[in-house]
Structure 1
Amino acid sequence: MERIDTHAHVVPEVWRKYCSENGYDRPDGMPAIPAWTAEEHIGLMDKLGVSKSILSITSPGTHLRTNDDDLAQRVTQETNDAVAEICRSHPDKFGFFASLPLPDVAGSIKEIDRALDNLGALGFALMTNAHGYYLGDNHLDKVFSKLNDRKAIVFMHPTSCHSHKSPETERPLSQYPAPMLEFFFDTTRAVVNLILSGTVARYPDITYLVSHCGGALPPLVERFSSFSTRILGGDAAVDSNSVKDLFKSRFYFDLAGFPFPDQIHGLLRQADASRLLYGSDYPYTPAFALTGMGARMDEELHKLLDEETVREIYSGNAKRLLKF
């Protein structure tokens, strides 16, 4: 069965070099930035039945030094250029979500047009927070206004928790790699802030892709929505049915990671199967693990859903979203 991979990473050498030079050679507590080549990625795609992968840069993104916007713009442009060239060399296999130098607003607005008009980006990969500015922060409003003007797709990828007021503060439970637990919580922070800040409502032409089956979000919908309505009130108020409507109209969720056998049930209570997408998280999930994980995904999806719905999750939903 054909698959389109909307959560697939790329490691261009220029980005690897900048990460190493700026102290990110072991990002988020992981052992290393993994090796990546287009040839190895395509070979894995063939084994997994993936017809096309949408490449993106993962954590820590491209703004690598606090308050150094000039460096961030240089890293972002060189990285996006490198990824675009990879895609041009393999147009039948790869597309990409471009990076932005957030929280640099002016640089990000310029890069949005360049990436869409000159490089052929399909959308944008944004970290859940940029040096502590979470998606939905009013500091980023002009960027979201521009993304809305361009009717952009925003692929949200988790990163380590930060505070822009205390950027050097150690992340919670730093003895464990952030992708193990903290990434799920940072995804949840970002989505909740996007909704409660009114960003999703103010900019109705942005479509959001949320990583890892929604992170820790699904069991918390009733809590944050009821709290916002009954305790906070005012502009922050939103009820759980409205949130669920957003999840069925403005958001998609990929199945990268370990959503089976348990996590998937929580998400399906909040969003329906038409909003689910296949994702591998390669190469941060290594190739040797993905064959078994793919078989597990296939088995578990067929327990829950009919054949045609599974087919849509694997490729049809992505084709409509990306206009393939």
Structure 2
Amino acid sequence: MAASTARIDVHQHIVPPRWRDALDDRGLDSGGWPVPAWSTADAIAMMDRQNIATGVLSVTSPGVHLGDDAEARALARAVNEYGAEQVKDHPSRIGCFASVPLPDVDGALEEATYALDVLGADGVVLMSNTHGRYLGDPDFEPLWAELDRRSAVVFVHPAQPPMPLLAGTPAPLVDYVFDTTRSAVNMVLAGVLSRHRDVKVVLSHGGGFLPYAAYRFSVLTSTAVEPGRDGDELLRDLKRFFFDTALASGPSALPSLLAFAEPGHILYGSDWPFAPEEAGSRFNHYLDTAPGIDPGQAHAIGRGSAEALFPRLAGLG
């Protein structure tokens, strides 16, 4: 496997035993989606089959805050230390985003500091909403300020939106792409990205439908929702996001993503193991055979852009 071509997967998941047990104890899952089996060996074997050099792992929805602040702090610490052990044992194959216990802001600040400074986490993962509170919530400003001060990479993973599931339709099928979009627009309208210019925010699944509808959001906001607000400035903030390709490189979605994203802002993602390897293989085929992508752009999507965000991973694999 050549380091020059093997992908860096920024959307790959870890299932720490402590987190699985916490969900099982409460009868929870990931938005109606079962929690799959996971092991380091299985993850590395999948990466070898799929030409992935390194997976940057994260805990998925519902995250680590399951209702109680103290329990959430303890769970965040446990999953982050578990992830750090995987990185320590396989530094060239595994990276890790740290979980933080939002909406407990003080707990989130404490855990982000510990994970980034002591554990050496590659960034922080935030759910698109936590108990119905979105990432533009003014109470979350101290966390954004600290992450911006550190020029941190923040991976936004979707969560079940605060509404009932559509009958027979688990949240990852439809609601997750909606909630990613909802959270991203909320962040921009609340000024999170305009205030914090050094934080790098990666949106899952191609940003939901944000690339497709970005001009709708900017034009309607500036003409109807908040007349007089600068629509071009809103569009610039929307373009500050990074996007991963997990389940988002299909023939109808990828052209919109390529048309909207800034150069260097598209990163490879698989969503394994919550998305089965068969699904990942299909979307890899869509990505590898997409028309109009030159070799330089393909390299950037596959690993070059991730190397710029995560210098530790440059040249590894």
TM-score range, shorter chain: over 0.9
**Hey, what does 1:145 align to over in structure 2?**
145
Q: 1:51: how far off?
A: 0.8
Structure-1 separation of matches of 2:235 and 2:255: 15
Aligned to 2:99: 99
SS of the residue corresponding to residue 143 of structure 1 reads helix
Given the alignment of the two structures, is residue 173 of structure 1 paired with residue 166 of structure 2, yes or no? yes
2:265 is equivalent to residue 253 of structure 1: no
C-alpha distance in structure 2 between counterparts of 1:203 and 1:234, whole Å: 24
* Displacement after TM superposition at 1:209 (Å): 0.2
Residue in 2 aligned with 1:206?
A: 199
Structure 1 residue 20 displacement after superposition = 0.9
Moved more, 102-111 or 171-180: 171-180
Aligned to 2:50: 48
CA distance, structure 1, for counterparts of residue 295 and residue 69 of structure 2? 48
Partner SS state of residue 179, structure 1: coil
Give 1:268's match in structure 2, choosing from 253, 258, 261.
258
Establish whether residue 23 from structure 1 lines up as the match of residue 27 from structure 2: yes
1:126 Cα deviation after fit: 0.4
1:279 aligns with 2:269: yes
Given that 1:133 and 1:139 are in contact with CA atoms closer than 8 Å, whether structure 2 keeps it comes out as no
Partners of 1:231 and 1:187 lie apart in 2 by 23
Q: CA deviation at 1:205?
A: 1.4
Where do residues 103-182 of structure 1 align in structure 2 (5 Å cutoff)? 103-162=103-162, 170-182=163-175
2:300 paired residue number: 312
The alpha-carbon deviation at position 289 of structure 1 amounts to 3.3
Q: How far apart are residue 152 of structure 1 and its match?
A: 1.1
Superposed counterparts of 1:3-42, under 5 Å: 3-24=7-28, 26-30=29-33, 32-42=34-44
For 1:13 and 1:146, locate their aligned partners in 2 and report how far apart those are by CA, in whole Å: 30
Q: Within 1, Cα distance between the matches of 2:168 and 2:79? A: 30
Q: Which residue of 2 aligns with 1:166?
A: none
Deviation sequence 1:70-121 (CA, Å, 0-9, x none): 1111111111111111111111110111001000011001111100011110
User: 2:250–2:286: 8 Å Cα contact kept in structure 1?
Assistant: yes
Q: Give the residue type in structure 1 aligned to 2:117.
A: D
- Give % identity: 37
* Superimposed CA distance per residue, residues 259-292 of structure 1 (whole angstroms, 9 cap, x where no aligned partner): 3110112222221442111101000111233333
Residue 61 (1) aligns with residue 63 (2): yes
Contact 1:212 1:256 (C-alpha < 8 Å) held by counterparts:
yes
Distance in 2, matches of 1:98 and 1:246, equals: 25
Q: Any conservation in 1 of the 2:136–2:192 contact (CA below 8 Å)?
A: yes
Superposed CA deviations along residues 37-79 of structure 1, whole A, max 9, x for unmatched, are 10011011111111111000000000012xx101111111111
The alpha carbon displacement at 1:202 in A equals 1.1
Q: Alpha-carbon deviation of 1:143? A: 1.2
Question: Does the 8 Å CA contact 1:273/1:313 hold for their aligned counterparts?
Answer: no
Query: Offset at 1:312?
Result: 1.4
Q: Which runs of 5+ in 1 are unaligned?
A: 163-169
TM-score, normalising length: structure 1: 0.91
